[in-house]
Amino acid sequence: MKLTSHSETGKIKSLFIKNTQHAFISDAHIEIQWKDLNYLSKPDFSNALLEYEIFESVLNEYEVEIFHLPTNDAVNIDSIYCRDAAIATNKGMIICNMGKAARAHEPQAEKKAFEAAGIPVLGTIMPPGTIEGGDVAWLDEHTLAVGHTYRTNEEGIAQLKLLLNPLSVEVITVPLPHYKGPSDVFHLMSILSPIDADLAVVYSPLMPIAFRNLLLQRGYCLIEVPDEEFETMGCNVLALAPRICMMVDGNPKTKAALENAGCKVIVYKGEDISVKGGGGPTCLTRPIKRYK
């Protein structure tokens, strides 16, 4: 089977994660940081360790090759959401420039880890451009959707297009609304999670009409997240393989809709590692390669 980095839905071959011990470090470390980083409430360190152990065990069950990001004094507890600092391509990693100033050092920390693992770097988004990986989703191997948000600006998107043009990748810009403003974590993947080549979980009330129509024109069946499950991360679903997915527990309607569409759904308790910090399973992982 061939491998690609240009997919959100193929069976995951390899990824990077940053476990709770390396990201949260200690209860005292969390206490210093959680308010300034706009967490809903303070994560419980002991419970977060248990939640993450179960989360990682699912990845091991599906025989994913796991690279662990180490502790780094230059970054904060947000670094657990490791998707945001880099974008994987077939020619190497694109190192992001974060729109959230408090996360400014994460991309270079991840770059060191990629280089140590022998993974090439294609390029780096430079100031004043900003891009976060949560704003980026592959629709197919040659089409990348990028949210224009408070975290990802026009200059960052322009640089991304230049890096991807030699790879014959079309970049589609998706303008997203103000929603809760600059301090909130609101990415494209807050409202879109591809589950298969023709299936995606969406939250349509915050989705631009033109982009939603584009998904339908491309043959996607859309699973709609109900209002009451949006804030509990019902729209943040990680495809481990086509129609095999992982989501935060507590979203029964979305889970049932996925199962009705023929998906296997694995849930994990994510109160402290996901809900409080606004980062579901897609945010907790930086996939590198998937099988086509």
Length of the chain: 292
Q: Does residue 76 belong to any structural domain of this protein?
A: yes
The enclosing domain of 43 has a CATH number of 3.75.10.10
- Torsion angle (degrees, nearest 10) of CA 226, 268, 138, 62: -140
Kindly state whether residue 206 falls inside one of the protein's structural domains: no
On whether the CB atoms of residues 165 and 259 are closer than 8 A, the answer is no
Residue 77 lies in a domain: yes
Residue 245 within any structural domain of the chain: no
Q: Is residue 168 part of a domain?
A: yes
How many domains does the chain divide into? 1
Residues 120 and 138 sit within 8 Å (Cβ to Cβ): no
Residue with tokens 């089409």: 143
Burial string for 10-34 (b: 16+ CB within 10 Å, else e) reads: bbbbbbbbbbbebbbbeeeebeebb
Alpha-carbon separation of residue 169 from 6, 37, 141, 163 (angstroms)? 9, 34, 8, 9
Q: Taken in order 115, 290, 5, 156, is the CA torsion positive or negative? A: negative
Domain range enclosing 47: 3-194+279-291
8 lies in some domain:
yes
Burial of 46 (0-12, 13-18, 19+ CB in 10 A): exposed
Rounded to two decimals, the pTM is: 0.97
- 98 domain residue, yes or no: yes
Instruction: Report long-range pairs for 217-223 (Cβ below 8 Å, ≥24 apart).
Output: 218/139, 218/140, 221/261, 223/195, 223/199, 223/254, 223/257, 223/258, 223/261
Q: Which two tokens stand for residue 25?
A: 């470090």
Helix (H) / strand (E) containing 93: strand 92-95
Q: pLDDT tens digit string along 182-199?
A: 988 899 999 999 999 999
Q: Which DSSP letter does residue 97 get?
A: B
d(CA 111, CA 95): 7
Q: For residue 237, tell me if it sits in a domain.
A: no
Measured from the Cβ of residue 113, the count of other Cβ atoms closer than 10 Å reads: 21
Write out the DSSP string of 111-157.
HHHHHHTT--EEEE--TT--B-GGGEEEEETTEEEEEESSSS-HHHH
How do residues 170-185 score in pLDDT, each as one tens digit? Answer: 999 999 999 999 988 8
> pLDDT tens track of the chain, all 292 residues?
899 999 999 999 999 999 999 999 999 999 999 999 999 999 999 999 999 999 999 999 999 999 999 999 999 999 999 999 999 999 999 999 999 999 999 999 999 999 999 999 999 999 999 999 999 999 999 999 999 999 999 999 999 999 999 999 999 999 999 999 998 889 999 999 999 999 999 999 999 999 999 999 999 999 999 999 999 999 999 999 999 999 999 999 999 999 999 999 999 999 999 999 999 999 999 999 999 9
DSSP 8-state class, residue 170: E
For residue range 42-73, list pLDDT tens digits in order.
999 999 999 999 999 999 999 999 999 999 99
